[in-house]
Amino acid sequence: MNIGSFGFPADQLVKLEKILKLSKNNRYLLTEFDPNHLPDLLLVFGIENLDAEAIAALPRGYQSRLIIVSKEKPTDTSVSHLGYPLVSSRVVRTLDQMTSENEEYNPEESASTNEDKENLFQKYAAQAESAHRAAEETISERNGYNVLVVDDSHAMQQALATELQKLPQAVEIDFADDGESALEKVESNQYDFMFLDIVMPGIDGFETCSRMREQPALKKTPIIMLSSKNSPLDEVKGIMSGCSTYLTKPINPDEFQKVINRVSNWVAEFKKD
């Protein structure tokens, strides 16, 4: 199944290509948009691109195969919509719904056949939207993560940000350079999980973690403690202060993914409660 794209920034194309590989029901291949060889479905980035000459010139029967990717929903309710930032489960679910019982697009099909397919795809779009709303109410991890990174090293902050941006889910990241700043941020923001360095100016990570756990809203929030040492004593002190797990510096991508997989499962369970 060929999935075309129009108007996507380069970084979002990379993310989209990764997401398409996650589908277990269909094999999706990201292709360049070619008006002479139309893909099975076409993702259009931004509502404004609906007015682009190449999109406006598409055959009427093909309009139902457009999926608009944007933060706001288009006013035309007949057009399928995917929320932005892209979330892997949402993208895959929409494409799976819309490709069910679908055959490749043939521009030589009769108008009546195209109208039948248009109605069919609108039905799938409505089903997909309903499924999205239900999923969003029960599994918050699929809507992306809000993350706090607490470390006095800006290089370490960027290293973590780089790894987090590789996740298929959307990630919003806040940074704090010390424990006091972190405590101020958690009072006014809600985070799905946090990375917390041990050695920092002012209060250290152990004290910061203990004071965070005193707040009822943070009792279950996963806190990943960052340590440049793999000392059993540090691990014991971390557990006593309330940390959820450890990540050793420098960041190892494989170990990072293992930790994030555990944390994402925790987040999903906590949000169900």
DSSP 139-154: -GGGG-EEEEEE-S-H
Pairing of strands 145-150, 171-176: parallel
Q: Is the distance from CB of 3 to CB of 41 less than 8 angstroms?
A: yes
Percent of the chain at pLDDT > 70 equals 82
What's the predicted TM-score (pTM) here? 0.50
Beta-carbon-side half-sphere exposure of residue 78 (alpha carbons within 13 Å): 10
Residue 102, amino acid: N
What residues have CB less than 8 Å from 127, skipping those under 6 apart? 97
Domains in the chain, ordered, with CATH?
2-138 (3.40.50), 141-272 (3.40.50.2300)
Question: What pLDDT is stored for residue 273 in this prediction?
Answer: 57
Q: Is the distance from CB of 28 to CB of 94 less than 8 angstroms?
A: no
Nearest-angstrom CA–CA distance, 118 and 217: 47
pLDDT tens-digit profile of 205-247? 999 999 999 999 899 899 999 988 667 777 788 888 999 988 8
Q: Is the distance from CB of 121 to CB of 103 less than 8 angstroms?
A: no
Nearest-angstrom CA–CA distance, 174 and 190: 11
Residue 25, amino acid: N
Percent of the chain at pLDDT > 90 equals 38
The predicted model gives 44-63 an average pLDDT of: 89
Helix (H) and strand (E) counts in the chain: 9, 10
Closest CA to 234 of 249, 221, 220: 249
pLDDT tens-digit profile of 242-258? 999 888 888 888 889 88
Residue 26, amino acid: N
pLDDT tens-digit profile of 54-81? 998 988 778 888 999 999 888 877 778 9
pLDDT tens-digit profile of 122-137? 444 444 444 444 434 4
Nearest-angstrom CA–CA distance, 127 and 24: 19
With residue 194 as reference, give the H or E element that holds it: strand 193-197
> H helices of the chain, where?
10-20, 53-56, 88-99, 111-138, 154-164, 179-188, 205-213, 232-241, 253-272
Question: What pLDDT is stored for residue 118 in this prediction?
Answer: 44
pLDDT at 117 over 50: no
